[in-house]
Amino acid sequence: MNATNTFQLDGEEIPFAPGQTIIQAAAAHGAYIPHLCWHPDFSPHGSCKLCTVKVNGRFGSACTMEAQPGMEVENRTAELDDKRRTLLQMFFVEGNHFCPSCEKSGNCVLQATAYELKMMSPHFDMFYPDRPVDASHPDILLDFNRCIMCSLCVTASREVDGKNVFAMGGRGILGRRIHINSESGRLGDTDFAATDRAASICPVGVILHKRKGFAVPIGERTYDLAPISAQVKETRS
C-alpha cells in the first residue's frame, strides 16, 4: 500500500486501499464508526445515516464516501454523537423495540449502538406500529414490528442466496416495510431456508429461528461480553 494513502480519523492516521470507503478503511484498522445498515459483506446504500461523519468540515456518509489521501475526518465528536442519539431515538419509537422481552437482546446492533452512544430514553412519542408477525415458516419467525428498514435481508437474499425472498415496499414512516415475495405474502410459501444468509443477517429481532430462543443465556451474548465499539474488526453474522 502506498504510504500516501492515509487519512486522519479523529487525529489518528488510517491507511486505506484505493476504492475503500471511509468506514471500510476504519473498520480494517479497528476504528469504530457507528452504523446500522452498513455490513462489510455487502454494498452500502446509506439509508440509516448513523455513520455520518464530517470530512474536511462537511457532512458525509462514511459507508458511501471513498477515502482520499489527506482527508480530515471527524467521527466521535460530541456534535456527531448527539445527532446520532437523536437518530437512534427515532429508530426506537418508529418500531416496537422492547429490549427486556426481546430474544435478540444482547445480540442486537440497535441496542448495542444505543448503549455505545449512551442513549438513555426514547425522547419522542412512540408510534406503536401494527406490523405483521409471520409464523408460517416451519423454522423461522418474522416479527416486523422490530424492523429498522436496513434492507440487509433484501440484499442477502438477492445477492447471496439468489432467492429474492424479501422486498422493500410502501411509503412513509408507517407505510414502508419489508414484504415477502410470494403470492400469499407469507414466508412459508417461499423457498426460504434457515441456512440462508438472509436468515442470519438481521441486526435486530425481526428474523428469529424457532425452537432456539435463549439458547445463549442473557449476560453471555455478543454485546454483553464487550461493547460494539470493541468488536469493530469482527464481521457481523
pLDDT at 233: 63
Q: For 189-212, how does the pLDDT look when each residue is reduced to its tens digit (9 = 90+)?
A: 999 999 999 999 999 999 999 999
| Of the candidate ranges 3-7, 50-54, 141-145, the one whose mean pLDDT is the lowest | 3-7
pLDDT band for position 45 (cuts 50, 70, 90) = confident
Q: For 211-227, how does the pLDDT look when each residue is reduced to its tens digit (9 = 90+)?
A: 998 889 999 999 999 99
Which range, 45-49, 51-55, 90-94, 169-173, has the best average confidence (pLDDT)?
51-55
pLDDT at 107: 96
Average of pLDDT values for 62-76?
A: 97
Q: For 4-35, how does the pLDDT look when each residue is reduced to its tens digit (9 = 90+)?
A: 699 999 999 999 999 999 999 999 999 999 99
pTM of the model: 0.93
C-alpha cell at 186: 407469507
The single residue listed with the C-alpha cell 437474499 is 157
Average of pLDDT values for 75-103?
A: 95
The runs of H, that is alpha helices, within 124-200 are 152-156, 172-175
What lies within 8 Å, CB to CB, of 10 at 6+ separation is 31, 73, 74, 75, 76, 77
C-alpha cell at 162: 439468489
What lies within 8 Å, CB to CB, of 169 at 6+ separation is 176, 177, 178, 179
Please name which of 34, 20, 3, 25 lies closest in space to residue 228, comparing C-alpha atoms.
Answer: 34
| Of the candidate ranges 26-30, 123-127, 143-147, 159-163, the one whose mean pLDDT is the lowest | 123-127
What lies within 8 Å, CB to CB, of 80 at 6+ separation is 52, 53, 54, 74
Amino acid identity for residue 61 in this structure: S
Residue 235 has pLDDT above 60, yes or no: no
CA distance 52 to 74: 9
What lies within 8 Å, CB to CB, of 101 at 6+ separation is none
pLDDT at 236: 47
pLDDT band for position 1 (cuts 50, 70, 90) = very low
The dihedral sign for the CA sequence 168, 129, 209, 139: negative
Q: Domains in the chain, please, with CATH?
A: 6-76 (3.10.20.740), 99-231 (3.30.70.20)
